[in-house]
Structures are given as structure tokens and as C-alpha cells.
Amino acid sequence: MSATLQMIFSNAEGRNSTISVTDPDPALSTLDVQEVMDAVITGNVFETTGGDLISKVRAQVVTRTVDVLGEF
């Protein structure tokens, strides 16, 4: 099973932009992620087509399981 942390932000045009991190530490807390998201907004280091990232929308961990039926 693989996991991806998705940090979703609102940009200057009001659209959502997502930054994804594969295999996040399972011990991450909500507070840890909030601090990182705040630093991303404050640092203004990411460009989006909709302008600067201006606010946090949501953070979520998405897990995925792949069952291989066969390799040919």
C-alpha cells in the first residue's frame, strides 16, 4: 500500500492547488502539516497559474492498494 500526503491550498484566483508528498511519515500530526502549509504560504516559493498560494484548504493522506492480477 502506498500513501500520499496532499496539501491543498487556495490561490489568488480562488482555485485549489495541491502539493503532494509521497510516503509521508506516519507519525505526522495535524499540527506538523499545518506548520508546513503555513511555511509554504509565508515563503511564497511555489508558482501556480492562478497566482500565489494564499490560504490552506485541506490536508489529507490518500492510500492506495494495488493488487497485481498477473504480469505478462
Count: domains in the chain: 1
Task: Answer yes or no: is pLDDT of 50 > 90.
Answer: yes
Q: What is the Cα Rg of the chain in Å?
A: 15
Q: Answer whether residue 70 is part of any domain.
A: no
Per-residue model confidence as pLDDT tens digits over 23-48? 999 999 999 999 999 999 999 999 89
| pLDDT averaged over every residue in the chain | 96
Q: Which of 21, 8, 3 shows the shortest CA–CA distance to 62?
A: 3
Residue 48: per-residue pLDDT: 94
Q: Answer whether residue 8 is part of any domain.
A: yes
Q: Answer whether residue 50 is part of any domain.
A: yes
Question: What does the alpha-carbon distance between residue 40 and residue 12 come to, in Å, rounded to a whole number?
Answer: 14
In terms of residue numbers, what domain contains 28? Answer: 2-64
Q: Answer whether residue 71 is part of any domain.
A: no
Which residue type does 15 have? R
